[in-house]
Amino acid sequence: MLLNRDDWYETSRDLDWTLSYADPEVAFPARWSGVGDVPADAWLAWDEPFRVSYRDYVRIQREKESGVKAVSSALLRAGTYEKLDPAHVAASHLHMGTTCMVEHMAVTMQSRFCRFAPSPRWRNLGVFGMLDETRHTQLDMRFSHDLLKHDQRFDWAQKAFHTNEWGVLAVKNFFDDVMLNADCVEAALATSLTVEHGFTNIQFVALAADAMAAGDINWSNLLSSIQTDEARHAQQGFPTLQVLVEHAPERAQKALDVAFWRSTRLFQTLTGPAMDYYTPLDQRKMSFKEFMLEWIVNHHERILEDYGLKKPWYWDQFLHSLENGHHAMHLGTWYWRPTLFWKPNAGVSKDERAWLNEKYPTWEENWGVLWDEIIRNVNDGHVEESLPQTLPSLCNLTQLPLGSAMSRHDLAPHQLVHKGRLYSFDSEISQWCFEQDPERYAGHQSFVDRFIGGQILPPDLGGALGYMGLTPEVMGDDVYQYAWAKDYTAPVA
Amino acid sequence: MALFPITGRFVGDFVPHLVAVDTGDTMDEVAEKVAAHTVGHRIPRPARPGGYDVLLRDRLIPPATTLADVMAETEVLPLQWFDVRFRRPEAADA
């Protein structure tokens, strides 16, 4: 008689043995497991709610794959991609270029859980996580490959992380830190709990809804399918937090506070512009801030409360950043558009501007006045005045421009000297993150550091574009060729 | 004299820029190089140009002072933050 799953599940996932021929520290180095001062038997309490067996996993994943493939094939035949709004399409270029290889990096992180996590249950779940991330990489690659014939920018799904494009360097720097450089405990708190259980809701739920509204059913379907996996393997964060809170609460607090801020800055870059500027106005579901408040802020507050932790010391600054950070990133990426591999939409026609002012009461004073000068130059026929001649200064933690965390009225120097080198930060919060573990971040060279260090030749903007791997066929430009600016020309009498 | 990279912020703009200046530049010349990336691009040119002020650590630097002079007086590291703003009448008299 076949046993029911419940008859063997506990035994299966608890499979472990006491090492007698090998030193446990050699087999499970603390450098990789991240156990720190947490006693070994504390990990016996590590538990997860997803009671999944390999047999179940394969059956369910196969069904998901069949569904995604069927929708994708039908839509490709129907030629739906050609009918999409070009501003929306840019959001998919941005997503594929900055996310596909992150999924692949996550395979390595999950494989570290499989091998080095301090609990057999966690190692068991890590196997499914590893398979999930392999699937996500392949889904992104297939989606992009199918659309290569329409636009070479989809080549950046694979290519981006092999270039030095500055935005990609920022994304890569973050995930190098929280996935590849992190031990199992850190990675579970920063990636599984903070990024996957929290922030990916923006990318995979909010953006999926916007994509569906924009008629991009293929991409929306892909994002939603990926999210079903994220919701499962992200569960590795909670039991890890539970153990850490009981045995090293200060470490848990600091790890979450650093990860939450770094994730905020990342998603202000990746998702904020896509939601509030690239998605066509009549197809927007929520503003980026509204979504953040409902899905991320409330969620994070609940977690902190449930586990007896405090809100980060920077909470008020974070809320202020929600009003501003992604607007700064949008203005910056649009202005430095030749440094992108997608075509950004300015998104500041009069109707769009009215929407921005309704959603963000300080938008006009903080951002509108800067756009006014750009609009004036465009309408006067001086588009070259709306293009950069140098690089923005960059943060040595986030790798994003100084000034892109808050509004122009908050812009102030945050600099410190560490071992004779001057480091710059986009906010007091980023400087605090750096100060928690300077050696972790100090060695990295930002794009600006490379520029003044002589790695980028010739040392001008043209040299920088070449160093980034940007070629004319993918280089960013205004997606509507400035048609939106006509809103602001005086009517002809 | 030598090229020297600074972080140049024009007050009112939303980002500071990487600006290559020369240690022989006066503050008026430094200001022009910083302002060139902002004024007329994201901040309108004033109707009547009146020059710019340069500040280091909130301290106004006299316009004829060279960067080398400043470096002789205080520590200035590569990528040091300098503020530049439209000249205020009281500052011009300083």
ipTM, two decimals: 0.95
- B15 and A370 in contact by Cβ < 8 A? no
Domain ranges (residues) in chain B? 3-92
Nearest to B40 among A332, A372, A385 (CB): A385
Residues within 8 A of B (CB atoms), A 329-388 only: 331-332, 335, 367, 370, 372-374, 376-377, 385-386, 388
Select from B14, B37, B40 the Cβ nearest to the Cβ of A370.
B14
Question: pLDDT at position B88, please?
Answer: 85
Q: What is the mean pLDDT of chain B?
A: 94
Specify the pLDDT at position A128: 94
pLDDT single digits (tens) B2-14 = 999 999 999 999 9
DSSP B53-75: EEEETTEEE-TT-BHHHHHHHS-
Cβ neighbours for A436, distance < 8 A, ≥ 6 positions apart: A254, A258
SS (H, E, C) chain A: CCCCHHHHHHHHHCCCCCCCCCCHHHHCCHHHHCCCCCCHHHHHHCCCCCCCCHHHHHHHHHHHHHHHHHHHHHHHHHCCHHHCCHHHHHHHHHHHHHHHHHHHHHHHHHHHHHHHCCCHHHHHHHHHHHHHHHHHHHHHHHHHHHHCCCCHHHHHHHHHHHCCCHHHHHHHHHHHHHHHCCCHHHHHHHHHHHHHHHHHHHHHHHHHHHHHHCCCHHHHHHHHHHHHHHHHHHHHHHHHHHHHHHHCHHHHHHHHHHHHHHHHHHHHHHCHHHHHHHCCHHHCCCCHHHHHHHHHHHHHHHHHHHCCCCCCCCHHHHHHHHHHHHHHHHHHHHHCHHHCCCCCCCCCCHHHHHHHHHHCCCHHHHHHHHHHHHHHHHHCCCHHHHCCCCCECECCCCCCECCCCCCHHHCCCCEEEECCEEEECCCHHHHHHHHHCHHHHHCCCCHHHHHHCCCCCCCCHHHHHHHCCCCCCCCCCCCCCCHHHHHHCCCCC
Q: What is the pLDDT of residues A349-366, one digit of tens each?
A: 999 999 999 999 999 999
Cross-chain residue pair A422–B5, CB shorter than 8 Å: no
**pLDDT recorded at residue A206:** 83
Query: Is the CB of B43 less than 8 angstroms away from the CB of A370?
Result: yes
Q: What is the pLDDT of residue A13?
A: 85
Q: Spell out which residues of chain B touch residue A393, defining contact as CB-CB under 8 Å.
A: 7, 15-18, 79
**Whether A204 contacts A228, CB under 8 Å:** no
Tens-place pLDDT, residues B27-81 = 999 999 999 999 999 999 999 999 999 999 999 999 999 999 999 999 999 999 9
Q: pLDDT band at B1, cuts 50/70/90?
A: confident
Q: What integer pLDDT is reported at residue A491 of this predicted model?
A: 65
A 57-86 residues with CB below 8 A of B? none
pLDDT band, residue B90 (cuts 50/70/90): low
Class of domain B3-92: alpha beta
What does the pLDDT read at residue A4?
86
Q: In terms of CA atoms, which chain A residue is nearest residue B79? A: A422
Q: What is the pLDDT of residues A423-444, one digit of tens each?
A: 999 999 999 999 999 999 999 9
Residues of A with CB below 8 A from B10's CB? none
pLDDT in the model for residue A200:
84
Question: Is the pLDDT at B86 greater than 70, yes or no?
Answer: yes
Looking at 3.30.1300.10, 3.30.365.10, 3.40.980.10, 1.10.620.20, the CATH number of the domain A63-488 comes to 1.10.620.20
Has residue B92 got a pLDDT over 80?
A: no
Distance (Å) of CA A5 to CA A129, A230, A233: 20, 23, 20
Which of the residues in chain A have pLDDT under 50? 493
Confidence (pLDDT) at B8: 98
Contact list, A451 vs chain B (CB under 8 Å): 18
